[in-house]
Protein backbone atom coordinates (compact mmCIF):
# COMPACT_ATOMS: atom_id res chain seq x y z
CA UNK A 1 0.00 0.00 0.00
CA UNK A 2 1.26 3.45 -0.80
CA UNK A 3 1.33 5.84 2.11
CA UNK A 4 -1.15 8.71 2.24
CA UNK A 5 0.72 11.85 1.30
CA UNK A 6 -0.35 15.49 1.70
CA UNK A 7 -2.21 17.01 -1.26
CA UNK A 8 0.70 19.36 -1.98
CA UNK A 9 2.98 16.34 -2.21
CA UNK A 10 0.49 14.62 -4.51
CA UNK A 11 0.58 17.59 -6.90
CA UNK A 12 4.38 17.63 -6.81
CA UNK A 13 4.49 13.89 -7.43
CA UNK A 14 2.36 14.31 -10.53
CA UNK A 15 4.69 17.09 -11.72
CA UNK A 16 7.76 14.95 -10.98
CA UNK A 17 6.32 11.96 -12.83
CA UNK A 18 5.53 14.14 -15.85
CA UNK A 19 9.04 15.62 -15.89
CA UNK A 20 10.65 12.18 -15.66
CA UNK A 21 8.49 10.87 -18.51
CA UNK A 22 9.68 13.85 -20.60
CA UNK A 23 13.28 12.86 -19.98
CA UNK A 24 13.97 15.59 -17.42
CA UNK A 25 15.74 15.25 -14.07
CA UNK A 26 14.17 15.55 -10.61
CA UNK A 27 15.65 15.79 -7.10
CA UNK A 28 14.27 12.84 -5.16
CA UNK A 29 14.24 12.25 -1.39
CA UNK A 30 15.21 8.78 -0.23
CA UNK A 31 15.81 7.54 3.31
CA UNK A 32 19.59 7.44 2.68
CA UNK A 33 20.47 10.59 0.72
CA UNK A 34 18.70 12.67 -1.95
CA UNK A 35 18.95 11.28 -5.46
CA UNK A 36 19.22 12.94 -8.88
CA UNK A 37 16.54 10.97 -10.70
CA UNK A 38 15.96 10.16 -14.37
CA UNK A 39 13.93 7.57 -16.28
CA UNK A 40 16.38 4.64 -16.34
CA UNK A 41 15.05 3.44 -19.73
CA UNK A 42 15.76 6.79 -21.40
CA UNK A 43 19.48 6.95 -22.31
CA UNK A 44 19.37 10.70 -23.05
CA UNK A 45 17.83 11.40 -19.65
CA UNK A 46 20.46 9.24 -17.97
CA UNK A 47 23.20 11.06 -19.88
CA UNK A 48 21.81 14.31 -18.47
CA UNK A 49 22.53 12.98 -14.95
CA UNK A 50 26.18 12.45 -15.85
CA UNK A 51 26.38 15.92 -17.42
CA UNK A 52 24.80 17.70 -14.45
CA UNK A 53 26.84 15.84 -11.85
CA UNK A 54 30.01 16.08 -13.97
CA UNK A 55 30.36 12.39 -13.27
CA UNK A 56 32.62 10.24 -15.49
CA UNK A 57 30.53 8.11 -17.87
CA UNK A 58 31.96 4.79 -16.68
CA UNK A 59 30.62 5.17 -13.13
CA UNK A 60 27.48 3.05 -12.79
CA UNK A 61 24.16 4.29 -11.38
CA UNK A 62 21.65 2.59 -9.09
CA UNK A 63 18.20 1.83 -10.55
CA UNK A 64 15.41 2.44 -8.04
CA UNK A 65 12.30 0.29 -8.30
CA UNK A 66 8.93 0.32 -6.52
CA UNK A 67 8.18 -3.43 -6.49
CA UNK A 68 10.25 -6.61 -6.04
CA UNK A 69 8.63 -7.98 -9.25
CA UNK A 70 10.43 -5.29 -11.24
CA UNK A 71 13.77 -6.99 -10.53
CA UNK A 72 13.08 -9.24 -13.52
CA UNK A 73 12.88 -6.26 -15.85
CA UNK A 74 16.52 -5.45 -15.07
CA UNK A 75 18.30 -8.65 -14.06
CA UNK A 76 18.80 -11.75 -16.24
CA UNK A 77 18.29 -13.91 -13.17
CA UNK A 78 17.07 -13.19 -9.69
CA UNK A 79 18.83 -15.71 -7.46
CA UNK A 80 17.23 -16.88 -4.20
CA UNK A 81 19.78 -14.77 -2.29
CA UNK A 82 18.49 -11.62 -4.00
CA UNK A 83 14.88 -12.47 -3.16
CA UNK A 84 15.80 -13.26 0.44
CA UNK A 85 17.60 -9.93 0.86
CA UNK A 86 14.84 -8.01 -0.90
CA UNK A 87 12.20 -9.60 1.33
CA UNK A 88 14.21 -8.92 4.46
CA UNK A 89 15.41 -5.37 3.79
CA UNK A 90 13.27 -3.72 1.09
CA UNK A 91 12.08 -1.11 1.02
CA UNK A 92 15.29 0.02 2.66
CA UNK A 93 18.93 1.07 2.41
CA UNK A 94 20.23 -1.96 0.51
CA UNK A 95 21.34 -2.15 -3.13
CA UNK A 96 21.72 -5.46 -4.98
CA UNK A 97 24.09 -5.90 -7.92
CA UNK A 98 22.84 -8.55 -10.36
CA UNK A 99 23.66 -9.61 -13.94
CA UNK A 100 22.00 -7.06 -16.26
CA UNK A 101 19.56 -7.96 -19.01
CA UNK A 102 20.89 -7.12 -22.47
CA UNK A 103 18.23 -4.42 -22.92
CA UNK A 104 19.35 -2.44 -19.85
CA UNK A 105 20.85 0.77 -21.27
CA UNK A 106 24.61 0.48 -20.73
CA UNK A 107 24.76 4.18 -20.00
CA UNK A 108 23.05 3.24 -16.69
CA UNK A 109 25.55 0.52 -15.80
CA UNK A 110 28.61 2.48 -16.86
CA UNK A 111 29.18 -0.16 -19.53
CA UNK A 112 29.12 -3.06 -17.06
CA UNK A 113 27.09 -6.24 -17.58
CA UNK A 114 25.69 -5.94 -14.06
CA UNK A 115 23.03 -3.60 -12.73
CA UNK A 116 22.53 -2.17 -9.24
CA UNK A 117 18.93 -2.17 -7.92
CA UNK A 118 17.31 -0.78 -4.82
CA UNK A 119 13.81 -0.17 -3.44
CA UNK A 120 14.05 2.96 -1.28
CA UNK A 121 11.98 3.26 1.90
CA UNK A 122 11.11 6.96 1.67
CA UNK A 123 7.33 7.36 1.22
CA UNK A 124 7.74 10.06 -1.44
CA UNK A 125 10.25 8.03 -3.45
CA UNK A 126 8.11 4.91 -3.20
CA UNK A 127 4.96 6.75 -4.21
CA UNK A 128 6.73 8.22 -7.24
CA UNK A 129 8.21 4.87 -8.29
CA UNK A 130 4.87 3.11 -7.95
CA UNK A 131 3.08 5.84 -9.87
CA UNK A 132 5.62 5.55 -12.69
CA UNK A 133 5.83 1.75 -12.58
CA UNK A 134 9.32 1.97 -14.03
CA UNK A 135 12.88 2.15 -12.85
CA UNK A 136 14.50 5.42 -11.97
CA UNK A 137 18.27 5.85 -12.13
CA UNK A 138 19.38 8.04 -9.25
CA UNK A 139 22.87 8.68 -7.99
CA UNK A 140 23.28 10.91 -4.97
CA UNK A 141 22.28 14.46 -5.95
CA UNK A 142 25.69 16.08 -5.52
CA UNK A 143 28.34 17.17 -7.94
CA UNK A 144 31.01 14.53 -8.53
CA UNK A 145 33.28 14.06 -5.48
CA UNK A 146 31.22 16.36 -3.27
CA UNK A 147 29.31 15.60 -0.08
CA UNK A 148 26.00 13.79 -0.62
CA UNK A 149 22.84 15.82 0.11
CA UNK A 150 20.52 14.92 2.99
CA UNK A 151 17.99 17.76 2.62
CA UNK A 152 16.18 19.35 -0.32
CA UNK A 153 18.07 22.58 0.44
CA UNK A 154 21.38 20.75 -0.06
CA UNK A 155 20.21 19.64 -3.52
CA UNK A 156 19.33 23.24 -4.39
CA UNK A 157 22.78 24.33 -3.19
CA UNK A 158 24.36 21.81 -5.55
CA UNK A 159 22.36 22.47 -8.70
CA UNK A 160 20.26 25.63 -8.32
CA UNK A 161 17.97 26.30 -11.27
CA UNK A 162 19.64 23.61 -13.39
CA UNK A 163 17.15 21.21 -11.80
CA UNK A 164 13.48 21.88 -12.65
CA UNK A 165 12.07 20.24 -9.49
CA UNK A 166 13.31 18.97 -6.14
CA UNK A 167 10.74 16.99 -4.17
CA UNK A 168 11.12 17.95 -0.52
CA UNK A 169 10.79 14.87 1.67
CA UNK A 170 12.40 16.39 4.76
CA UNK A 171 15.79 15.40 6.16
CA UNK A 172 16.93 11.87 5.22
CA UNK A 173 16.45 9.52 8.17
CA UNK A 174 19.40 7.19 7.45
CA UNK A 175 21.80 9.84 6.17
CA UNK A 176 24.46 7.80 4.36
CA UNK A 177 24.24 5.84 1.12
CA UNK A 178 22.85 2.30 0.93
CA UNK A 179 24.84 -0.85 1.60
CA UNK A 180 25.73 -2.40 -1.77
CA UNK A 181 25.84 -6.21 -2.07
CA UNK A 182 27.19 -7.78 -5.23
CA UNK A 183 25.32 -11.02 -6.00
CA UNK A 184 26.63 -11.35 -9.54
CA UNK A 185 29.41 -13.76 -8.50
CA UNK A 186 29.37 -17.02 -6.57
CA UNK A 187 30.31 -15.31 -3.34
CA UNK A 188 28.26 -12.37 -2.15
CA UNK A 189 30.43 -9.31 -1.48
CA UNK A 190 29.70 -5.98 0.11
CA UNK A 191 30.96 -3.29 -2.24
CA UNK A 192 29.97 -0.38 0.00
CA UNK A 193 29.13 -0.58 3.73
CA UNK A 194 25.96 1.17 4.89
CA UNK A 195 23.30 1.16 7.58
CA UNK A 196 22.50 -2.51 6.91
CA UNK A 197 25.51 -4.34 8.29
CA UNK A 198 27.55 -7.22 6.92
CA UNK A 199 26.35 -9.28 9.90
CA UNK A 200 22.68 -8.64 9.03
CA UNK A 201 23.31 -9.69 5.44
CA UNK A 202 25.26 -12.78 6.49
CA UNK A 203 22.45 -13.73 8.92
CA UNK A 204 19.87 -13.42 6.18
CA UNK A 205 21.88 -15.42 3.63
CA UNK A 206 23.19 -17.92 6.18
CA UNK A 207 26.68 -17.57 4.80
CA UNK A 208 29.78 -15.47 5.21
CA UNK A 209 29.77 -12.14 3.45
CA UNK A 210 32.91 -10.10 3.00
CA UNK A 211 33.44 -6.42 2.65
CA UNK A 212 35.34 -6.46 -0.60
CA UNK A 213 35.21 -3.63 -3.08
CA UNK A 214 35.41 -4.84 -6.65
CA UNK A 215 38.88 -4.52 -8.13
CA UNK A 216 38.78 -2.77 -11.45
CA UNK A 217 35.23 -1.44 -11.05
CA UNK A 218 35.17 2.24 -11.75
CA UNK A 219 32.74 3.40 -9.15
CA UNK A 220 32.89 6.68 -7.27
CA UNK A 221 31.78 4.98 -4.08
CA UNK A 222 34.96 2.97 -4.38
CA UNK A 223 37.34 5.82 -4.93
CA UNK A 224 39.52 7.00 -2.12
CA UNK A 225 38.64 10.64 -2.27
CA UNK A 226 34.90 10.99 -2.16
CA UNK A 227 32.27 12.69 -0.05
CA UNK A 228 34.73 15.50 0.51
CA UNK A 229 34.04 18.94 1.91
CA UNK A 230 36.36 21.82 0.97
CA UNK A 231 37.97 21.81 4.41
CA UNK A 232 40.70 19.30 5.11
CA UNK A 233 39.38 16.36 7.14
CA UNK A 234 41.56 14.48 9.59
CA UNK A 235 40.20 11.30 11.19
CA UNK A 236 41.44 10.38 14.65
CA UNK A 237 40.62 8.03 17.51
CA UNK A 238 38.75 9.56 20.45
CA UNK A 239 41.79 9.70 22.71
CA UNK A 240 43.80 11.65 20.11
CA UNK A 241 41.22 14.44 19.59
CA UNK A 242 42.60 16.97 22.13
CA UNK A 243 46.14 16.69 20.85
CA UNK A 244 45.26 16.97 17.13
CA UNK A 245 42.89 19.89 17.74
CA UNK A 246 45.56 21.68 19.78
CA UNK A 247 48.12 21.02 17.01
CA UNK A 248 45.97 22.72 14.35
CA UNK A 249 45.01 25.61 16.63
CA UNK A 250 48.69 26.22 17.39
CA UNK A 251 49.33 26.39 13.65
CA UNK A 252 46.75 29.21 13.44
CA UNK A 253 44.04 27.17 11.73
CA UNK A 254 40.29 27.44 12.25
CA UNK A 255 39.19 24.04 13.46
CA UNK A 256 35.93 22.11 13.72
CA UNK A 257 35.91 19.13 16.04
CA UNK A 258 33.37 16.55 14.84
CA UNK A 259 32.82 14.29 17.84
CA UNK A 260 30.21 12.83 20.16
CA UNK A 261 31.26 14.95 23.12
CA UNK A 262 32.27 18.60 23.28
CA UNK A 263 35.94 19.69 23.29
CA UNK A 264 37.39 19.89 26.77
CA UNK A 265 39.15 23.22 26.08
CA UNK A 266 37.18 26.02 24.39
CA UNK A 267 39.11 28.22 21.94
CA UNK A 268 37.94 31.17 19.79
CA UNK A 269 39.09 29.39 16.61
CA UNK A 270 37.42 26.09 17.54
CA UNK A 271 33.83 25.01 16.89
CA UNK A 272 32.22 21.78 17.97
CA UNK A 273 30.12 19.86 15.48
CA UNK A 274 28.02 17.56 17.65
CA UNK A 275 28.36 14.23 15.82
CA UNK A 276 25.49 12.63 17.76
CA UNK A 277 25.44 10.13 20.57
CA UNK A 278 24.23 7.01 18.81
CA UNK A 279 25.63 5.50 15.61
CA UNK A 280 22.26 6.11 13.93
CA UNK A 281 22.42 9.79 14.85
CA UNK A 282 26.00 9.97 13.64
CA UNK A 283 25.04 8.56 10.24
CA UNK A 284 22.03 10.82 9.98
CA UNK A 285 23.99 14.00 10.74
CA UNK A 286 27.34 13.33 9.10
CA UNK A 287 26.90 14.94 5.69
CA UNK A 288 25.00 17.95 7.01
CA UNK A 289 27.82 18.58 9.47
CA UNK A 290 30.50 18.33 6.77
CA UNK A 291 28.53 20.93 4.79
CA UNK A 292 28.26 23.07 7.91
CA UNK A 293 32.04 22.94 8.33
CA UNK A 294 32.37 24.45 4.85
CA UNK A 295 29.76 27.10 5.60
CA UNK A 296 31.66 28.07 8.73
CA UNK A 297 34.80 28.33 6.63
CA UNK A 298 36.98 26.19 8.88
CA UNK A 299 40.36 25.05 7.59
CA UNK A 300 40.30 21.60 9.10
CA UNK A 301 37.74 19.18 10.51
CA UNK A 302 39.18 16.88 13.17
CA UNK A 303 36.74 13.98 13.09
CA UNK A 304 36.38 11.26 15.69
CA UNK A 305 36.36 7.75 14.21
CA UNK A 306 33.66 5.61 15.88
CA UNK A 307 34.69 2.18 17.12
CA UNK A 308 32.94 -1.12 16.52
CA UNK A 309 31.35 -2.80 13.52
CA UNK A 310 28.00 -2.58 11.73
CA UNK A 311 27.07 1.09 11.23
CA UNK A 312 30.47 2.09 12.67
CA UNK A 313 32.10 0.40 9.64
CA UNK A 314 30.01 2.54 7.33
CA UNK A 315 30.74 5.71 9.28
CA UNK A 316 34.49 5.07 9.30
CA UNK A 317 34.32 4.37 5.57
CA UNK A 318 32.67 7.73 4.82
CA UNK A 319 34.86 9.70 7.24
CA UNK A 320 38.06 8.19 5.83
CA UNK A 321 36.94 8.95 2.30
CA UNK A 322 36.12 12.53 3.28
CA UNK A 323 39.68 12.68 4.56
CA UNK A 324 41.02 11.24 1.29
CA UNK A 325 42.23 8.18 3.18
CA UNK A 326 39.77 5.72 1.63
CA UNK A 327 39.42 2.65 3.81
CA UNK A 328 39.30 0.39 0.79
CA UNK A 329 41.66 -0.08 -2.15
CA UNK A 330 40.97 1.90 -5.30
CA UNK A 331 41.13 0.57 -8.81
O1 LIG B 1 21.63 5.22 -0.97
C2 LIG B 1 21.94 5.22 -2.16
O3 LIG B 1 22.37 4.19 -2.72
C4 LIG B 1 21.82 6.53 -2.93
C5 LIG B 1 20.33 6.89 -3.03
C6 LIG B 1 20.07 8.08 -3.92
O7 LIG B 1 19.59 5.77 -3.43
N8 LIG B 1 22.41 6.43 -4.24
C9 LIG B 1 23.75 6.41 -4.42
O10 LIG B 1 24.13 6.44 -5.73
O11 LIG B 1 24.55 6.38 -3.52
P12 LIG B 1 25.61 6.77 -6.24
O13 LIG B 1 25.55 6.91 -7.71
O14 LIG B 1 26.13 7.95 -5.51
O15 LIG B 1 26.39 5.48 -5.94
C16 LIG B 1 26.18 4.38 -6.78
C17 LIG B 1 27.20 3.35 -6.47
C18 LIG B 1 28.43 3.48 -7.31
O19 LIG B 1 29.37 4.30 -6.68
C20 LIG B 1 28.92 2.08 -7.40
O21 LIG B 1 29.80 1.86 -6.31
C22 LIG B 1 27.70 1.24 -7.19
O23 LIG B 1 26.67 2.09 -6.81
N24 LIG B 1 27.26 0.54 -8.40
C25 LIG B 1 26.26 0.87 -9.22
N26 LIG B 1 26.12 -0.03 -10.19
C27 LIG B 1 27.05 -0.97 -9.98
C28 LIG B 1 27.42 -2.16 -10.63
N29 LIG B 1 26.77 -2.58 -11.72
N30 LIG B 1 28.44 -2.86 -10.13
C31 LIG B 1 29.09 -2.45 -9.03
N32 LIG B 1 28.78 -1.33 -8.35
C33 LIG B 1 27.78 -0.59 -8.82
MG1 LIG C 1 27.29 9.41 -4.59
CB of 97 shorter than 6 A to ligand 1: yes
Residue 18 Cα to ligand 1 middle (Å): 25
Q: What is the C-alpha separation between 145 and 167, in angstroms, rounded?
A: 23
264 C-alpha to ligand 1 centroid (Å): 39
* Residue 140 in contact with ligand 1 by CB distance below 6 A: yes
User: 252-284 b/e with 16+ CB inside 10 Å = b?
Assistant: ebbbbbbbeeebeeeeeebbebebbeebeebbb
Phi, psi of 147 (to 5 degrees): -65, 135
pLDDT tens digit at each of 331 positions of the chain:
455 667 678 899 999 999 999 999 999 999 999 999 999 999 999 999 999 999 999 999 999 999 999 999 999 999 999 999 999 999 999 999 999 999 999 999 999 999 999 999 999 999 999 999 999 999 999 999 899 999 999 999 999 999 999 999 999 999 999 999 999 998 999 999 999 999 999 999 999 998 886 544 444 444 555 567 789 999 999 999 999 999 999 999 999 999 999 998 999 999 999 999 999 999 999 999 999 999 999 999 999 999 998 899 999 999 999 998 764 432 2
What crossing angle do the helices spanning 279-296 and 311-322 adopt, rounded to 10°? Answer: 20
> From ligand 1's centre to the CA of 261, what distance in Å?
32
Q: Does ligand 1 lie within 6 Å of residue 180's CB atom?
A: yes
Looking at all shown ligands, the one closest to residue 181's CA atom is 1
- Note residues around ion ligand 2 (Cβ under 5 angstroms): 140
Could you say which ligand is closest to the alpha carbon of residue 283?
Answer: 1
Distance in angstroms (rounded) separating the CA atoms of residues 155 and 212: 30
Ligand 1 atom showing the smallest separation from residue 93 Cα: 1
Nearest CA to 306 out of 242, 238, 240, 257 is that of 238
Cis, bond preceding 91 (omega within 30 deg of 0): yes
- Please tell me if the CB atom of residue 221 comes closer than 6 angstroms to any atom of ligand 1: yes
What distance in Å separates the CA atoms of residue 76 and residue 4, rounded to the nearest whole number? 34
Residue 327 CB less than 6 A away from ligand 1: no
315 C-beta closer than 6 A to ligand 1: no
Handedness of CA 21, 3, 181, 184 (dihedral sign): negative
Q: Which helix (H) or strand (E) holds 143?
A: none
Amino acid sequence: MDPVLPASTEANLAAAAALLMQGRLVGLPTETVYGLAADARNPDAVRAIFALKQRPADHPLIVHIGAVDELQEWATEVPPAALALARAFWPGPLTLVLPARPDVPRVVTGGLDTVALRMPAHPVALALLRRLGRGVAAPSANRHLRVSPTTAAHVREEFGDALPLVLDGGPCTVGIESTIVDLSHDRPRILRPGAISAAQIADCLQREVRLQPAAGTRAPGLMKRHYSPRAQVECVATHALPERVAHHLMAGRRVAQLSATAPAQPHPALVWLAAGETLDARMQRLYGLLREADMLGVDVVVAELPEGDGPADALRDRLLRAAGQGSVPTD
